[in-house]
Amino acid sequence: MRIYDSVQKIKREFIPQEEGKATLYVCGPTVYDNAHLGHAKSALVFDLLTRILRANGLNVTYARNITDIDDKIIKKAREQKKDIKEITDFFTEAFHKEMSSLGVSRPTIEPKATESLEAMFTLIQKLIDNGHAYKTQDGDVYFDTASDSEYLKLSARVQEDEDRQERVESSSLKKNPADFAMWKSVKDGSLTFTSPFGEGRPGWHLECSAMIEKHLACENNEFSVDIHGGGADLLFPHHENEAAQTRCGSSHTLANYWMHNGFVNINGEKMSKSLGNSFFLKDALKQYDGEVLRFYLLSTHYRSNFNFNTEDLTTAKKRLDKIYRLKKRLFGLAENSDTTSFQTELLTALSDDMNVSTALALIEDMLSTANETLDTAGKHKLLKRETISNLTYIENILGFGVQNPFEYFQFGVDEATKEKLATLIQQRDEAKKEKNFEASDKLRDTILACGVSLMDTPQGTFWEKI
RNA sequence: GGUGCCAUCGCCAAGUGGUAAGGCCGUAGCCUGCAAAGCUACUAUCCCCAGUUCAAAUCUGGGUGGCACCUCCA
C-alpha cells in the first residue's frame, strides 16, 4: 500500500507502527447544520481507504469524531430557541443516515467532544505545566506557539508579518498573535463546562488532539496514529495546531502519514455559505440514488479538486449502470469467493494511493469481457462463477453494485407507476406475440414517455428508469 | 502580498523518464421484427518556449492560463 503524504509531499509505502494493524483518525463534522457534498466526499474517501487497508489484511481502527461543542452550534441553538443537545443529536442522526445512504460504513469509533472533556483537561494541564500553554487574565488558556520550535513545519508555512495578524487579532491578551485558544472562558452560561481552568469551552483543535490520545494512541509508539486525514482546508491551522498540542503535550508525534482530500466545487464555484450554493446531501439524495453519488464522488482521484455538475453525474450513473446490467444477466446464480487475477489487479491499483481511475478501467474491461463471453457462450460456467465473484469483490471494496439490480433501475419510481408499467408491458408482450408490432411499438412509446426504457431479453421484458 | 497545487481527445479522467488507460458523446457494423441493452471497429503526442537525456506528457528554467490556502470550513 502506497499513500501520498501531504506533509512530506511524496508517495510513501505504508508501514504501520504495529504489524497487521492500522490506526486512522479523520476530522468529522461539526454538527450544527446539514452535511453537504464536501462532507460526503471526505467520508467516502476515508471509507474507501479503510476498505482498501482491510483488503490488504490490516486490522484497521478508524476513528472519526463528532464535534458537538462549538460556537456555531450555540448560535444555532439560540436562533432556534432549542436545546444544544437537540441540535447536535438531530444533525448527528441526519449525518449518519445520509452517510448510510452513500454506503459509508460506520467508523470503528466515533468519539464526541462532549464525552472527551477529561482527556482535554489532562492535555491542557500538561501543556500548562510544561510551559507550552498559559492562562490569561480573562481565564482563557492559549497554546504558546513561540514555545514550539516545530510550529508551522507541518503546513510548511512561514511566520506571517504582524501587520496582517494584528488586523485579525486586535483585542486579545495573547502573547503572540499566532497563539490559539485551547480553553475559552465563558461566563454567560450557554454550553459551558466546569474545568480546572474555570467555566468555559474547549477549543476546536484541542478536541481532536485529546480524542486521539484517549482513543487511539498507544504509549510505546512514536506516533499517536498511523494516518491522520481530513479535508485539504484543515492542514492549516487545524492540523498544524493539533500536531503542536500533541507534540508538546504527549510523548507522541501526532501522525506518521497525513492525507488530505480535495475540495468539492459546484459548477466551478467554491461551495460556501456566503455564496449560498451549498449542495446539501439531503437534497441531492432526493434526486439521486446514494450509490450513484458515491460512484460519482469517488470516480476521480481523492486529492483532486472535484467539480460537481449534473452532466458528469449522469455520466457516472451510466458507468454504474453497466455494473448493474451485468448483475442482471447473472442474477440468481450462487455466490462464491473464487480469487481471480482481476481481483488482485484491482487491489493493486487501489493500493497505489487509491487509484480509482485505474480500478474503474480494470472493472470496465472485466465487464465487457464478461458480456462478450456471455453473448457468444452463454453457458460458460467457470466464467459465470468468476464474474460473480468479481462483482462481489467490487461490492465489498468499492461499495459499487450493492443493491438488487432490478430495484436499482427503479430508483424514484412509486408503486402505482410500477403497477401501471407492469400492465402496459404485459399488453405489449401480448401484442408482440401476435406480431402486432404497430400496437407494441405504440405501447413502448407510451412507456418511454414516462421516462422508462424497455429491454427485450430471453428472460422476458425488463424496464429501466432513464 | 505570502505559500502551494494544477494545465493530457468535444466533455470527465489515469499515467510522473521508455514511446498516450478508461468512461461519456460521436460515427460505422453485428445482434434485434424495430428498438433498448450488449459486443466490435474508429478518434489526441499531452498549454507555449528553451534545456537535460539515447529517450520527456513525465525532469529543469522561463512564459501564459486556472485554482486553493493564508479567517470558521470536509
Q: What is the pLDDT of residue A38?
A: 92
What is the DSSP secondary-structure string of A49-110?
Answer: HHHHHHHTT-EEEEEE-BB---HHHHHHHHHTT--HHHHHHHHHHHHHHHHHHTTPPPPSB-
Mean pLDDT, chain A, as a whole number?
91
Residue indicated by cell numbers 450462487: A334
On whether the CB atoms of residues A64 and A4 are closer than 8 A, the answer is no
Whether residue A258 sits in one domain with residue A164: yes
Whether residue A129 sits in one domain with residue A209: yes
User: Separation of CA A11 and C1' B47 in angstroms?
Assistant: 27
Q: What is the pLDDT of residue A9?
A: 87
Nearest to A38 by CA among A301, A304, A236, A231: A231
Domain count, chain A: 3
Q: Which whole number is the average pLDDT over A254-271?
A: 89
Whether residue A373 sits in one domain with residue A225: no
Of the pLDDT bands very low, low, confident and very high (cuts 50, 70, 90), residue A160 is: low
pLDDT cut 90: percent of chain A above it: 79
Nucleotides of B under 7 A from a protein CB: 1-5, 11-15, 21-25, 32-40, 67-74
Q: What is the pLDDT of residue A167?
A: 43
Q: Look at residues A266, A281, A310 and tell me which one is the last residue of a structural domain.
A: A266
Cell of A264: 468539492
Q: Which whole number is the average pLDDT over A231-249?
A: 94
Whether residue A340 sits in one domain with residue A249: no
The residue lying closest to nucleotide B72, measuring its CA against C1', is A72
Whether residue A195 sits in one domain with residue A90: yes
The reply to whether A302 falls in a domain is: no
Q: What is the pLDDT of residue A276?
A: 64
Q: Look at residues A243, A266, A289 and tell me which one is the last residue of a structural domain.
A: A266
Whether residue A439 sits in one domain with residue A377: no
Whether residue A458 sits in one domain with residue A397: no
Cell of A42: 471526505
Closest nucleotide to the alpha carbon of A371, via C1': B38
Q: What is the pLDDT of residue A173?
A: 80
The reply to whether A278 falls in a domain is: no
C-alpha to C-alpha distance for A252 and A217, rounded to whole angstroms: 8
Q: What is the pLDDT of residue A424?
A: 94
Whether residue A218 sits in one domain with residue A116: yes
The reply to whether A421 falls in a domain is: yes
pLDDT at residue A162 is higher than 60 = no
The residue lying closest to nucleotide B71, measuring its CA against C1', is A168
Of the pLDDT bands very low, low, confident and very high (cuts 50, 70, 90), residue A271 is: confident
The reply to whether A316 falls in a domain is: no
The reply to whether A62 falls in a domain is: yes
Least confident of A155-159, A222-226, A285-289, A295-299: A155-159
User: Separation of CA A232 and C1' B69 in angstroms?
Assistant: 9
CATH of the domain at A172: 3.40.50.620
Instruction: Tell me the three state secondary structure of residue A420.
Output: helix
Closest nucleotide to the alpha carbon of A361, via C1': B22
User: Separation of CA A161 and C1' B6 in angstroms?
Assistant: 28
Q: Look at residues A221, A239, A266 and tell me which one is the last residue of a structural domain.
A: A266
Least confident of A32-46, A151-165, A200-214, A367-381: A151-165
Q: Which whole number is the average pLDDT over A17-27?
A: 96
Q: Which whole number is the average pLDDT over A177-183?
A: 92
User: Separation of CA A364 and C1' B27 in angstroms?
Assistant: 22
Whether residue A340 sits in one domain with residue A254: no
Query: What SS3 string covers A244-287?
Result: HHHHHHCCCEEEEEEEEECCEEECCEECCCCCCCCCEHHHHHHH
Q: What is the pLDDT of residue A268?
A: 75
The helix (H) or strand (E) run that includes residue A227 is strand A223-231
pLDDT at residue A273 is higher than 70 = no
Whether residue A125 sits in one domain with residue A85: yes
Of the pLDDT bands very low, low, confident and very high (cuts 50, 70, 90), residue A170 is: very low
The reply to whether A155 falls in a domain is: yes
Of the pLDDT bands very low, low, confident and very high (cuts 50, 70, 90), residue A168 is: very low
Closest nucleotide to the alpha carbon of A353, via C1': B14
pLDDT at residue A189 is higher than 70 = no
The reply to whether A425 falls in a domain is: yes
On whether the CB atoms of residues A14 and A26 are closer than 8 A, the answer is no
Range of the domain at A371: 330-408
Q: What is the pLDDT of residue A365?
A: 96
The reply to whether A300 falls in a domain is: no
- How many C-beta atoms surround the C-beta of residue A311 within 10 A? 8
Q: Which whole number is the average pLDDT over A433-439?
A: 92
Whether residue A141 sits in one domain with residue A31: yes
Whether residue A341 sits in one domain with residue A258: no
Closest nucleotide to the alpha carbon of A306, via C1': B12
Of the pLDDT bands very low, low, confident and very high (cuts 50, 70, 90), residue A29 is: very high
